[in-house]
Amino acid sequence: MTKIVVDPITRIEGHLRIEAEVAGGRVTDAWSSSTMFRGIETILKGRDPRDAWYVTQRFCGVCTTVHSIASIRAVENALKIAIPSNAELIRNIIIGIQNVQDHVIHFYHLHALDWVDITSGLTADPAKTAALAASISDWPLNSPTYFKEVQDKVKAFVAKGRLGPFANAYWGHPAYKLPPEANLMATAHYLEALEWQKDVIKIHAILGSKNPHPQTFLVGGMAIPIDPDSQNALNADKLAEIKRLLTKAGEFVEKVYIPDLLAVASFYKEWAGIGGGVGNFLSFGEFPQQGGGQPWLPAGVVLNRDLGKALPVDHRKVTEYVDHSWYEYSGGAGKGLHPWEGESEGKYSGPKPPFQHLDTSGKYSWVKAPRYEDQPMEVGPLARLLVAYAAGHKPVQDAVNGVLGKLSVGPEALFSTLGRTAARGIDCLLIAREMPKWNDQLMDNIGKGDYAIHNGEKWDPDRWPAEASGYGMHEAPRGALGHWIRIRDQKILNYQAVVPSTWNASPRDAKGVRGPYEAALIGTPLADPGKPLEILRIIHSFDPCLACAVHLLDARGNETLKVAVR
Amino acid sequence: MGKRSDEETADGAEQLLDLPRLLAERGVSRRDFMKFCTAVSAALALPATFVPRVAQALDDIKRPTLVWLEFQDCAADTEALLRAANPTVAEIVLDILSVDYHETIMAAAGHQAEEALAKVVKEQKGKYIAVVEGSIPLRDGGVYCCVAGRTALDTARQVCGNAMATVAVGTCASFGGLPAAAPNPTGAVGIKEAVPGATVINLPGCPLNADNLTATIVHFLVFGKLPAVDSHGRPLFAYGKRIHDNCERRPHFDAGQYVEQWGDEAHRKGHCLYHMGCKGPETYHNCPTQRYNEKTSWPVGAGHGCVGCSEPQFWDAMAPFYRRLPQVPGFGIESTADKIGLGLAVTTAVAFGVHGIASAFRHGDKSEGAQEDTDR
């Protein structure tokens, strides 16, 4: 038996380390650790709750809107503020394009190189590549000339002898299965997606000044004014530009991303049986509908892979354990705390750096172990779709069944690496199709003379109660996100975020139950433990985003490892 | 420093860079390239006569290596790079820089990734550019940020200490940023404080404007030195003027036309956001002219005040973000300006302009009464 370490896990946001035991060519046990910590929730204490969205936005610069959304929802929930219809629609568009852009970037720029061997594409026949592309999509760029140009560019790059970010990778690894033509097609679209993503996200700049980190959110609404008769507000010109960009976003998803996803997946069907995980799924639901009621994608819990029913979500059932995380609770070990009662006594007890291995029998991560009714939960696009599927959401059922049919696999294939990666594509497609409706509804409102973007009744903190508690739920691209806030005397008393990668990257809990990454790695075959490509495939299928997954720290800290610096 | 074609490089096999040919191979026309040079020259505030010089210098440049380190970061500066304006050519110029290490984009992982970094430090000592994103925790031996079992401080000392120059991208790498906000739980600092011996230029902003990164690197390659900086290590071409002085809404400030509520008529008509907490009068950054996402917009342009994100310690000094900058009614203009200067002593050295204060008193606050002037 050997113990392998993959640190850093690259092509993710944040700092993630995987340690795994390997015997007989398979992973027999695994530990997920986050090795970076900032203490932002401690920094939030005592601040103006209206500023919290701007602070929490910096949890993550990749999913750059999600913590702003969860934060303003938490404060609005605490202070019982209803926001105008226009603000809700603008938020929906911002959330929607964040999801769509993020999923495409994940597929091409963070995940694809686990499946696509760029160097193999150098030997592809451009004409055959064009024929392959034409067989799956009528995307206008698909031509022998185009693929020849891309191939020549890559050849010229390789000929320089310095591969830059593509150096030292697992090229030629036996687990790569795509023919050269498919590799070349995917490489071309890797480059195209790089151009596309910076264009479509201009929707954030139009509505919110810039991306990353749009500066536009307000407790009570949004900061972009609406006035068709002003050049300094959201007007017909800007709405038309948003519409154009939404169309551009949707076309790429329909004609490039989804066809590529299906084509690549068809060569890796064995991955429908690898990387299953914990089998429990949580979604907080997303996209408030006009007129209230249930969100467009429902909230719910699916337990033990039972798609027969989606259980209702109750935020009070969320707790966090720290038995294997570098924190201590005042009430002692072995208990989970609800975020409103969340504690932040950080205590690093890992090895003194530089180190080779963590003490995985003890505490080994800055990520806490969140549990729902004491069960580990997987969150993300797969969870979102499975909950909707189980709840009888027709568009989701049709889309999921359609993809399963095209790949000739059954529903059990969903609980896997491939299922997770395919679900992200379906999620992206469904949202891309829904977004223009929100833009149309916004135009309808404006046409009727409704320009409201903010409810200012409680903007002034003097109108707040002395104490208030609230929570804000959101389905981020990476899944269920919750912020919990307690306000006292107009200031933040306590602030806790339980984020998607906290759920998925969770270490073991008090009972030793593994988190989703850890569980998903068990049994994975490794062709070459020195080049653990298969581990990257599974971990990347969750789309890790670690900076935000890490929690608080006691400001007093642990002084035992003090060394002279500077 | 390995930048000019007439110098030797450590790597004898390295071909001299023929930029026009390289660009042609990547489908970039000479015309596009000249457009890029014009844009960079404009960002650097160079006169038009410099455009041929920029182009000539870039033509001559060999392919220096760039390594991008992420510490206590959120990857927003990396994301900003992906959205860079003049993207086609900018990406290529960055690509031409041979980005040998960047965790978020690189194909290799684990020890293969670390090998790539070690190779650069060993083989190109003193010849590569380091970019740092995120702060560096010093408390408790640096345990709050470890990559591959090494602390951020350990890696930074080695990589930045041996670099030709280090570019701090974003406010965290420049000044400690959010992790360093009170009570700074992890003892976070910027790269210059962590590695005092390194040659560092700061490009703060939350995140930075990637146009400023491109311009800084081009400046370095073209002129063989880093651009002139202010007392906070920020290049003057990007941080030499206050937002307030270049703001498109400045006439409304001077005329005493202020937004008083989100969504009111003044907000819809693009009036001044000063009363909503805008920190433009205390912030040095080229946002109003350079803007973001290929010049689509910027915070004030989209209706939200500036929060001062390019200033040191803005997380504490500028918060609460919706409170207007301090004013004291009933005093003389000079006295007020002095008080504001004192109140912001930790941020910028230059206080709120006397002209601005005079206008504010003349047109706005005085007529609206003292109640309007209370700070909350």
Q: How many CB atoms lie within 10 A of CB A25?
A: 11
Structure-token pair, residue A156:
């010229």
Q: Write the residue in A12, A167, A225 that is nearest to B303 by C-beta.
A: A225
Pair B29, B130 in one domain:
yes
The minimum CA-CA distance between A206 and chain B, rounded to whole Å, is 7
Mean pLDDT (whole number) for B55-82: 83
Q: What is the mean pLDDT of chain B?
A: 79
Dist. CA A513–CA A519, nearest whole Å: 9
CB-based contact, B73 to chain A, within 8 Å: yes
pLDDT reported for residue B327: 57
A vs B, Cβ pairs < 8 A, gives 346
Which of B181, B207, B238 terminates a domain? The answer is B238
In a domain, B4, yes or no: no
Instruction: Answer yes or no: do A166 and B106 touch at CB < 8 A.
Output: yes
Dist. CA A487–CA A468, nearest whole Å: 5
Q: Write the residue in A55, A171, A348 that is nearest to B140 by C-beta.
A: A348
Instruction: Answer yes or no: do A10 and B104 touch at CB < 8 A.
Output: yes
Question: Residues near A270 by Cβ (< 8 Å), separated by ≥ 6?
Answer: none
Structure-token pair, residue A329:
């609770």
Pair B231, B245 in one domain:
no
CATH for B303: 4.10.480.10
Please tell me whether the peptide bond between A212 and the residue prior to it is cis, using omega within 30 degrees of 0.
Answer: yes
pLDDT in tens, B84-104: 766 443 454 446 678 889 998
A332 burial class (0-12, 13-18, 19+ CB within 10 angstroms)?
exposed
Dist. CA A183–CA A171, nearest whole Å: 12
pLDDT reported for residue B87: 44
Instruction: Answer yes or no: do B315 and A454 touch at CB < 8 A.
Output: no
Residues of chain A with pLDDT under 70: 344-345, 548-566
Pair B219, B295 in one domain:
no
CB-based contact, A198 to chain B, within 8 Å: yes
Instruction: Answer yes or no: do A215 and B112 touch at CB < 8 A.
Output: no
pLDDT reported for residue B17: 46
Dist. CA A94–CA A87, nearest whole Å: 10
Find the residue in B nearest to A452 (Cα): B263
In order of A132, A224, A442, A446, B99, the CA distances from B265 in angstroms are: 56, 12, 19, 15, 49
Residue located via tokens 């109003």: B288
Q: Write the residue in B75, B91, B268 that is nearest to A61 by C-beta.
A: B75
Dist. CA A1–CA B302, nearest whole Å: 58
Pair B331, B218 in one domain:
no
**Residues 197-256 in B contacting A (C-alpha not used; CB under 8 Å):** 206-207
Find the residue in A nearest to B194 (Cα): A566
Dist. CA A523–CA B23, nearest whole Å: 47
pLDDT reported for residue A115: 97
Burial A483-496, CB ≥16 within 10 A → b, else e: bbbbbeebebbbbb
Label residue B57 by pLDDT band (50, 70, 90).
Answer: low
Instruction: Answer yes or no: do B82 and A565 touch at CB < 8 A.
Output: no
Amino acid present at A374: D
Label residue B24 by pLDDT band (50, 70, 90).
Answer: low
Does residue A57 contact residue A476 with C-beta atoms inside 8 Å? Answer: no
- For domain A2-117+172-178+192-268+279-510+526-549, the question of CATH label 1.10.645.10 is answered with yes
**Residues 55-94 in A contacting B (C-alpha not used; CB under 8 Å):** 55, 58-62, 64
Sign, CA dihedral B180-B182-B186-B192, equals: positive
Q: How many CA atoms lie within 13 A of A229 on its CB side?
A: 5
In a domain, B196, yes or no: yes
Q: Please give the helix or strand (H or E) that residue B115 lies within, else none.
A: helix B110-123
Q: Which residues of A are catalytic?
A: 13, 60, 63, 67, 478, 501, 545, 548
In a domain, B5, yes or no: no
Dist. CA B153–CA B12, nearest whole Å: 32
Mean pLDDT (whole number) for B151-162: 98
- Total domain count for chain B? 2
| Residues of chain A positioned with their CB less than 8 A from the CB of B204 | none
Pair B226, B269 in one domain:
no
The minimum CA-CA distance between B202 and chain A, rounded to whole Å, is 19
CB-based contact, A449 to chain B, within 8 Å: no
In a domain, B373, yes or no: yes
| Residues of chain A positioned with their CB less than 8 A from the CB of B288 | none
CB-based contact, B182 to chain A, within 8 Å: yes
Best A210, A546, A560 residue to mutate vs chain B (most B CBs within 10 Å): A210
φ/ψ (deg, to 5) at B160 = -75, -35
Which of B223, B238, B253 terminates a domain? The answer is B238
Amino acid present at A240: A
Best B29, B95, B106, B248 residue to mutate vs chain A (most A CBs within 10 Å): B106
Does residue A29 contact residue A361 with C-beta atoms inside 8 Å? Answer: no
Best B26, B63, B70, B79 residue to mutate vs chain A (most A CBs within 10 Å): B79
Dist. CA A365–CA A276, nearest whole Å: 22
Residue A110 DSSP one-character state: I
Instruction: Answer yes or no: do A213 and B207 touch at CB < 8 A.
Output: yes
Does residue A257 contact residue A104 with C-beta atoms inside 8 Å? Answer: yes
Label residue B221 by pLDDT band (50, 70, 90).
Answer: confident
The minimum CA-CA distance between A23 and chain B, rounded to whole Å, is 20
Structure-token pair, residue A96:
């929607």
Does residue A11 contact residue A113 with C-beta atoms inside 8 Å? Answer: yes
pLDDT in tens, A154-167: 888 788 777 888 88
In a domain, B3, yes or no: no
Pair B247, B369 in one domain:
yes
CB-based contact, A492 to chain B, within 8 Å: no
Instruction: Answer yes or no: do B87 and A195 touch at CB < 8 A.
Output: yes
pLDDT of B349 over the 90 cut: no
Dist. CA A410–CA B71, nearest whole Å: 43
Find the residue in B nearest to A241 (Cα): B296
The minimum CA-CA distance between B232 and chain A, rounded to whole Å, is 19
In a domain, B111, yes or no: yes
Pair B68, B208 in one domain:
yes
Pair B215, B327 in one domain:
no
Pair B195, B325 in one domain:
no
The minimum CA-CA distance between A312 and chain B, rounded to whole Å, is 33
pLDDT reported for residue A206: 98
Dist. CA B323–CA A497, nearest whole Å: 26
∠ Cα A394 A400 A401 (to 5°)? 90
Pair B25, B69 in one domain:
yes
Q: How many CB atoms lie within 10 A of CB B125?
A: 13
Q: Please give the helix or strand (H or E) that residue A28 lies within, else none.
A: strand A26-34
Does residue A33 contact residue B305 with C-beta atoms inside 8 Å? Answer: no
In a domain, B35, yes or no: yes
Dist. CA A189–CA A172, nearest whole Å: 20
In order of A52, A83, A90, A347, A439, the CA distances from A445 in angstroms are: 29, 14, 12, 52, 10
∠ Cα B149 B155 B157 (to 5°)? 145
Q: Please give the helix or strand (H or E) that residue B165 lies within, else none.
A: strand B165-169
Dist. CA B85–CA A195, nearest whole Å: 11
Pair B145, B246 in one domain:
no
Instruction: Answer yes or no: do B109 and A13 touch at CB < 8 A.
Output: no
In a domain, B1, yes or no: no
H helices of B148-300, in order, are 152-161, 170-175, 191-194, 210-223, 236-239, 243-246, 250-254, 265-268, 287-290
Label residue B26 by pLDDT band (50, 70, 90).
Answer: low
Instruction: Answer yes or no: do B320 and A48 touch at CB < 8 A.
Output: yes
pLDDT of B310 over the 80 cut: yes
Which of B238, B271, B304 terminates a domain? The answer is B238
Dist. CA A225–CA A319, nearest whole Å: 39
Q: Quote the domain boundaries for residue B93.
A: 15-238
Q: State the greatest distance between any 2 C-alpha atoms of chain B, in Å, as a whole number.
A: 74
Best B252, B296, B323 residue to mutate vs chain A (most A CBs within 10 Å): B296
Q: How many CB atoms lie within 10 A of CB A446?
A: 18
pLDDT reported for residue B360: 35
Q: Write the residue in A42, A452, A456 that is nearest to B185 by C-beta.
A: A42
pLDDT reported for residue B89: 38
Higher pLDDT, residue B59 or B309: B309
CATH for B135: 3.40.50.700
**Hey, is A170 helix, strand or coil?**
coil
pLDDT in tens, A446-475: 999 999 999 999 999 999 999 999 999 999
Q: How far apart are the first and last CA of chain A?
A: 42
Q: Where are the beta strands (DSSP E) in A322-437?
A: 327-328, 345-346, 369-372
Mean pLDDT (whole number) for B175-203: 97
Instruction: Answer yes or no: do A168 and B107 touch at CB < 8 A.
Output: yes
Q: Write the residue in A198, A230, A558 that is nearest to B87 by C-beta.
A: A198
Instruction: Answer yes or no: do A354 and B149 touch at CB < 8 A.
Output: yes
* Global pTM value: 0.90
Q: Write the residue in B147, B188, B297 that is nearest to A35 by C-beta.
A: B147
The minimum CA-CA distance between A386 and chain B, rounded to whole Å, is 29
Q: Write the residue in A165, A194, A209 that is nearest to B106 by C-beta.
A: A165
pLDDT of B149 over the 80 cut: yes
Beta-bridge partner residues of B130: B67, B166
Q: Write the residue in B15, B151, B262 that is nearest to A223 by C-beta.
A: B262
pLDDT in tens, A412-440: 999 999 999 999 999 999 999 999 999 99
Pair B231, B104 in one domain:
yes
pLDDT of B15 over the 60 cut: no
Dist. CA A563–CA A227, nearest whole Å: 58
